[in-house]
A and B are shown apart, each in its own frame.
Chain A
Amino acid sequence: MNNTELIPHLFRTEYRKIVSVLCKRFGFEQIEIAEDIASETFLTAYQVWSLNSIPPNPVAWLYNVAKNKAKNQLQRNHLFNSKIAAELKNNLVVTEVEIDLSPKNINDSQLQMMFAICHPSIPAEAQIGLSLRILCGFGIEEIADAFLSNKETINKRLFRAKEKLRDEKIKIEFPHETEINKRLETVLITIYLLFTEGYYSVSQNTLIRKDLCFEAIRLCNMLVENEATNKPQVNALLSLMYFHASRFDARIDKNGEPVLYEEQNTNLWDTDLISKGAYFLNLSAIGNKISKYHLEAAIAYYNTQKEDTKQKWENILQLYNQLLQLEYSPIAALNRTFALSRANSKEEAIHEAEKLKLTTNHFYFMLLGELYTTIDTKKAKLNFNKALVLAKTTSDKKAIQNKISKLG
């Protein structure tokens, strides 16, 4: 990797560690200072590495610079305290300036930061925004893109969320054991969102997208490695992400365009990641609660199986049936109907699909088009055309065009 690739990559992986450790040291009162120091560290790296060469251990280099900047900051505070505050009170305590960037403290700080951000007093949207900003080093513009919003709105939202963290005096620490399960739910939602952000992003920068997916996996791994948070649903989510990630190289072509599942080169599926997925799926199978991550992981498992049997689709159908029972979502309803066509019949699926009436969703008309293909070409074309009107991205439009031209 050269400089222009390495720094954004390191920013994704190291920014949050520096912010978490510093923020834990300074407290949320000074989160902006922690963020500034982390950002300045990368700015310094960019300047120095462009002039000289990349140091042999870039991460250690970054930590060193961050540490020095933080020490300067603390000393400035200390100076202020001793010069001004000391005149007010005479009992000055000299604090030891120490920034602990050991692997253990980095890990703990990050996990605790995750829980702090997912505090119940912060609205869900702000939690995800803060996670993208602090845990994934997203720029304000990128967050605005992800939320289909603008920079001002996101800035305000993040500002209010940080204010809330301060007002509620939220500490960077592990929640009490009785709280963990409840808080874990938001943490998992956030991690999954980060993953899907990378997986389904319209951005054609595959490097950044892959980074995001693997960072989400990394965060989830941290939860699994920690005894207090190593719960079945966490293992299920990790399994699910590994299964999906196994197709990362197969589902995007050289130009960054998505490749449909049935057109993927299965040789590009990463068998190592598939076996990791299976490993964590097994570990998730304890306890008596089935989370939606369990169901989605099981579906994702079947999607890694190349054999196209009726039994496989029957299993997928029943998993979707259960998933819809837990939580309705249009995309689950559409996927379930597709599974129905494979497990039962196209005719039955068409009958069911017509009832869904998701008429603002281009995937709905793509599904209908797909189901009518080989049954009624005219209707297939009609539905694909409706999908074409509703589709927003050029790659979606292209995929639909392809389907239409194949109809002849």
Chain B
Amino acid sequence: MENYLLVYRAEYSAMPKATPEQAEAMTKRWMDWIAGINSQNKLVDRGNRLENTTGKVVKPNNVVTNGPFAEIKESIGGYSIIKAKSYIEAMEIAKGCPILSVGGNVEIREVSKL
């Protein structure tokens, strides 16, 4: 079993504001999905959600910008760490991620043991 980092990305700025009911339904989908990984005993770290309206990027020579939004429209909405036998299995798990239903994507990276 290897650990894989899942990074959830979406174009949050382009999304219409969700109604409370929609937001609640989305939360449920995330909870059910995460619990599904837990049920297989494959969740290492549930991770965190990130605020997607703020962000800073510090660059060389004292340059600071407000988030990565100027260059890429997508921003990171959160991350988790799972364990899986291979990329294939990690991908299988990621395919159920609710972010896909709002046009987002999941980047999967194997966590280095070094």
Contacts and interface: CB of A to CB of B under 8 A. Distances in A.
Interface of A: 314, 317-318, 320-321, 324-325, 328, 332-333, 336-337, 340, 344, 352, 355-357
B99 interface: no
22 contacts: A314-B28, A318-B28, A320-B35, A321-B31, A321-B32, A324-B35, A324-B38, A324-B39, A325-B43, A325-B46, A328-B41, A332-B39, A333-B39, A336-B39, A340-B32, A344-B32, A352-B36, A355-B36, A355-B39, A355-B40, A356-B39, A356-B40
Identify whether the interface residues of A are mostly helix, strand, loop, or mixed. helix
A336 B35 contact: yes
Contact of A328 (B28, B31, B34, B38): B38
A317 B36 CA distance: 11
Contacts of A318: 28, 31
A355 B96 CA distance: 12
Contacts of B36: 352, 355
A310 to B, nearest CB: 12
A321 B46 CA distance: 12
B46 A352 contact: no
Contact of B41 (A320, A333, A336): A333
Contacts of A332: 39
A336 B41 CA distance: 13
Interface residues of B, number: 12
A333 B40 CA distance: 7
Could you say which of B34, B38, B40 has the most chain A C-beta atoms within 10 Å of its C-beta? B38
Contact of A317 (B32, B34, B41, B46): B32
Contacts of B46: 325
Q: Which 7 A-B pairs have the closest CB atoms?
A: A321-B35, A333-B39, A324-B38, A328-B41, A321-B31, A352-B36, A324-B35
Most chain B beta-carbon contacts within 10 A, residue among A324, A356, A357? A324
Interface string B64-86: 00000000000000000000000
B84 to A, nearest CB: 12
Nearest to A328: B41
A330 to B, nearest CB: 8
